[in-house]
């Protein structure tokens, strides 16, 4: 079976080295992150070999957290352009195995919209990945409208991935903890904080009416829906149209039409069942979260799903092929 994975990360050292250490805080300094530097930089070596060994047909690549989102409006656009150029160059000889989400200079929203269009039209990138908050602001703020407008015009999705927690949040929620082997980072990011913040981000987009304003916008979120499937019924009641928000449609109707989730990093069946019961089979796409998770873990999970072959095919590749307009 064809298998497409959508949340598969890269980080080129020559680009990551341009990010001021002050912007990164302590992120990326853990022993685990240091061990992954070579894997994040690689595309056609161990990464491709692992894809072949595990039966993965295509990866959609995206830049890890250290990027233009941490740079000034003056420096971000050129950085993002250079990064997208490098990605395109390094996958140019493997067009059937790799494509990418554009890297955007989010601190300069108009430039980000222009870079999205350039990457889509020039390199056939499949949308963009945005990393959490920008300068402590959620995407429901009016200044980010050009990005949504351009994504809708181009008919490409936005993948909303967690980002570094804002300093004010980190100081209150994640400080004063033992930092043995990066455990404070784990709590703030991949162990909990990332996922709750992204769920909040999506709910803010709903409540502020972004999905109604851009009815053809498609949003992707990872990690089996970032806690939203479990909260769906309760949040549905809280955000009913007419309850004070700008949303004109119900949460479930909006999510079924415009929000898609991937399995990245979640490899047990109970969360998948909740996702199927809430988002539905047509809104779920397989992902691994390589190299933070292994292709072996992902494929073992995929092979254990107890659904019909047709339904597994939708998760493994069909939904992604349709949403991202992948040529097969």
How far apart CA 19 and CA 37 sit, in angstroms, is 15
Beta-carbon count within 10 A of 92 CB: 10
Q: What is the DSSP string of 247-267?
A: --S-HHHHHHHHEEEE-TT--
Reported pTM: 0.95
Burial of 21 (0-12, 13-18, 19+ CB in 10 A): exposed
pLDDT in tens, the chain (328 residues): 999 999 999 999 999 888 887 777 655 566 666 788 899 999 999 999 999 999 999 999 999 977 999 999 999 999 999 999 999 999 999 999 999 999 999 999 999 999 999 999 999 999 999 999 999 999 999 999 999 999 999 999 999 999 888 888 888 998 888 766 567 788 888 888 889 999 999 999 999 999 999 999 999 999 999 999 999 999 999 999 999 999 999 999 999 999 999 999 999 999 999 999 999 999 999 999 999 999 999 999 999 999 999 999 999 999 999 999 997 6
**Residue pLDDT, tens place only, 123-182:** 999 999 999 999 999 999 999 999 999 999 999 999 999 988 888 888 899 888 876 656
pLDDT given at position 327: 74
Q: Which residues contact 161 (CB under 8 A, 6 or more apart)?
A: 7, 62, 129, 130, 131, 132, 198, 221, 222
pLDDT given at position 301: 98
pLDDT given at position 31: 65
**3-class SS at 241?**
coil
pLDDT given at position 267: 97
How far apart CA 147 and CA 50 sit, in angstroms, is 34
Domain ranges for the chain? 4-324
Q: Which residues contact 254 (CB under 8 A, 6 or more apart)?
A: 206, 211, 212, 247
Class of domain 4-324: alpha beta
pLDDT given at position 2: 97
pLDDT given at position 92: 96
pLDDT given at position 176: 84
Angle at 66 between CA 112 and CA 64, to 5 degrees: 85
């Amino acid at each position: 079976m064809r298998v497409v994975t959508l949340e598969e990360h890269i980080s080129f050292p020559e680009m990551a080295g341009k990010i001021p250490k002050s912007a990164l805080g302590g992120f990326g300094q853990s022993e685990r992150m240091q061990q992954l530097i070579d894997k994040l930089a690689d595309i056609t070596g161990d990464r491709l070999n692992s894809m072949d060994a595990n039966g993965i047909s295509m990866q959609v690549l995206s830049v890890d957290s250290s990027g233009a989102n941490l740079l000034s409006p003056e420096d971000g656009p050129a950085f993002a352009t250079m990064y997208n150029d490098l990605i395109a160059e390094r996958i140019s000889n493997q067009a059937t195995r790799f494509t990418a989400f554009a890297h955007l200079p989010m601190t300069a929203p108009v430039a980000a919209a222009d870079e999205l269009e350039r990457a889509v039209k020039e390199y056939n990138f499949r949308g963009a990945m945005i990393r959490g908050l920008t300068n402590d602001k959620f995407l429901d703020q009016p200044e980010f409208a050009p990005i949504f407008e351009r994504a809708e015009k181009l008919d490409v999705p936005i993948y909303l991935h967690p980002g570094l927690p804002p300093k004010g949040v980190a100081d209150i929620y994640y400080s004063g903890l033992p930092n043995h082997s990066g455990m404070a980072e784990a709590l703030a990011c991949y162990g909990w904080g990332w996922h709750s913040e992204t769920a909040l981000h999506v709910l803010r987009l709903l409540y502020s009416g972004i999905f109604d304003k851009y009815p053809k916008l498609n949003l992707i979120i990872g990690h089996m829906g970032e806690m939203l499937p479990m909260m769906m019924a309760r949040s549905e009641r809280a955000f009913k149209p007419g309850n004070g928000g700008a949303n004109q449609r119900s949460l479930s109707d909006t999510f079924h039409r415009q929000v898609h989730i991937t399995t990245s990093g979640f490899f047990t069946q109970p969360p998948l069942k909740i996702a199927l019961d809430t988002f539905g089979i047509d809104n779920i796409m397989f992902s691994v979260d390589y190299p933070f998770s292994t292709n072996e873990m992902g494929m073992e999970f995929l092979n254990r799903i107890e659904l019909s072959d047709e339904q597994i095919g939708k998760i493994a590749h069909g939904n992604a092929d349709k949403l991202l307009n992948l040529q097969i």
